[in-house]
Amino acid sequence: MLFIGICGASGSGKSTLAESLQQRLGQRCFVLQQDAYYLDHPNLSFEERKLLNYDEPAIFDHDLLLHDIQTLMQGQPITQKSYDYSQHRRADKDTLIWPRDVMILEGIHCFHDDRLRNLMYLKLYMKVEPDICLLRRIQRDITERGRDIDGIALQYLSTVKPMYDRYIRNYINFADVIVAGGGRNARIVDILAGYVQDELSKRGDN
């Protein structure tokens, strides 16, 4: 199995690139989102959960994510992890995810845990201007997550931007490939898909 990590700021195009690669590689590829592995906080009220810092590395269950990745790399299935953004709660499912030839993990801190990072065959970093990321984040949070502009602005100023400056922008130093301009770059998708297919052929995974 080839394990690919895609890291970058919120709104940088990680999901778009991951989905484009999955489409090009077909059934032999699947995508996991680090966002599905937020720690659950059932003992906190909804208002308390809203105030958590969802942009710091410690908000994720890194041990569970590592366990699931290792399980898949060993050829065994895992149960699907999921997250309900409207309630700020985990919403895991019983659906099984089976390993395939290529596994893609995308997330703002997927390069944070060196145990996980060391398992990656290819590390991609999305380099996009912060103001572009913010505009994309506003559109996504309003249309997909039911947020309002005041809440988005407060979160951006209090956690998103500080955590980007402290952590996320520095993950570029771990990257094998830097992807500029976002995930809608057909040429980079062609190049990456061709590279992965060539490696699979070398390994005999035709």
Q: Which two tokens stand for residue 14?
A: 């990680």
Q: Which two tokens stand for residue 13?
A: 């195009």
Domains in the chain with CATH codes: 2-201 (3.40.50.300)
pLDDT in tens, 140-191: 777 777 677 877 777 777 888 899 999 999 999 999 999 987 777 888 999 9
pTM: 0.90
pLDDT in tens, 71-112: 999 999 999 999 998 899 999 999 999 999 999 999 999 999
Q: Which two tokens stand for residue 30?
A: 């699947």
CA 6/CA 122 separation, integer angstroms: 9
Using H for helix, E for strand and C for coil, what is the string for 8-58? ECCCCCHHHHHHHHHHHHHHHEEEEEHHHHECCCCCCCHHHHHCCCCCCHH
